[in-house]
Amino acid sequence: MSTNKLPKAPRSAPRETKRVLVVDDEPRMIDFIRMNLELEGFQVVEARNGLEALEAIRTHLPDIVLLDVMMPQLDGFETLRMLREFSTVPVIMLTAKGEEDDKVRGLELGADDYLTKPFSPRELSSRIRAVLRRIDMPSAADQAILKIDDYLSVDFNKREVIVGGKRVKLRPTEYRLLYHLIENAGWTVPHEQLLAKVWGYEYRDEAHYVRLYINYLREKIEPDSSNPRYIFTERGVGYRFVDFRRKETEADTKDSADRPAEN
């Protein structure tokens, strides 16, 4: 009988000083962020425009980037697009606009979160820590590859999926979302629970995060994303991953029943 199970999440590691790159063309905003983050124990690096930001990412290797949207010459969206060509560092967009389209555009370009100005120091540090927690993903302590079926497997060591024999890299948030869906395979996981587990409790009202990342996952793992085989929508409630363990149990039971009885 198969013993497929998810790897256990690691114990908390000792806290390390995290380096934050702050990108904004307003000196007062940088000073405000620097003062508050340094009080919270973060190390702060600054950049005044998109080009400086791209260079700072290469030279300072920040743990997370706070990226303003409204900047001259190279705005935050274009900076993010160029950044994602060579780096997976988590990014929080800072914007004075609260429109849904701007939020979704940033997420689609690869941002991990956004903050609408003005924001409080407490909200800023909370969002940063929430994103950094998502990057600290469950590890593959006792199993490298989980086979869902002949088409799909999950490599927990490399945080990849193997789709039709081809390896596909997952972004950290995509991986965490898939992890929690598979952990509850066969059960409907409510939107609020996914938001709390993957993004953090403070995101419980941000349902569009789940919808967007479910679409990302489907595009990567489903043979036909418009007709899902693995991730099902339970309208108005949440999402459910196919109960692959029950299928394996049924197959094992059938194999046992088909074997000739021993004398």
* 3-class secondary structure, 51: helix
Per-residue pLDDT, 20: 97
Per-residue pLDDT, 234: 92
- Residue 251 in this model has a pLDDT that exceeds 50: no
Of the listed ranges 30-39, 54-63, 102-111, 139-148, the one predicted with least confidence:
139-148
Which of the two residues, 155 and 20, has the higher pLDDT score?
Answer: 20
Per-residue pLDDT, 86: 84
What strands lie across the sheet with 160-163, from one edge to the other? 145-147, 152-155, 160-163, 166-169
Which of the two residues, 73 and 222, has the higher pLDDT score?
Answer: 222
* 3-class secondary structure, 163: strand
Strand partners, 37: none
- Residue 134 in this model has a pLDDT that exceeds 80: no
- The pTM for the full model equals 0.63
Per-residue pLDDT, 141: 43
Q: 52 with 72, same domain?
A: yes
Report yes or no on 71 lying in a domain. Answer: yes
pLDDT 10s digits, 58-94: 899 999 999 999 898 899 999 999 998 888 889 999 9
Report yes or no on 259 lying in a domain. Answer: no
Contact 21, 56 (CB under 8 A): yes
228: domain CATH number is 1.10.10.10
Torsional class of 257: left (φ above 0), alpha (ψ -120 to 50), beta (otherwise): alpha
Residue numbers of the domain that contains 181: 145-247
Per-residue pLDDT, 138: 53
Q: 23 with 119, same domain?
A: yes
Gap between the Cα atoms of 89 and 115, Å rounded: 17
CA-based end-to-end distance of the chain: 22
Per-residue pLDDT, 245: 77
Report yes or no on 115 lying in a domain. Answer: yes
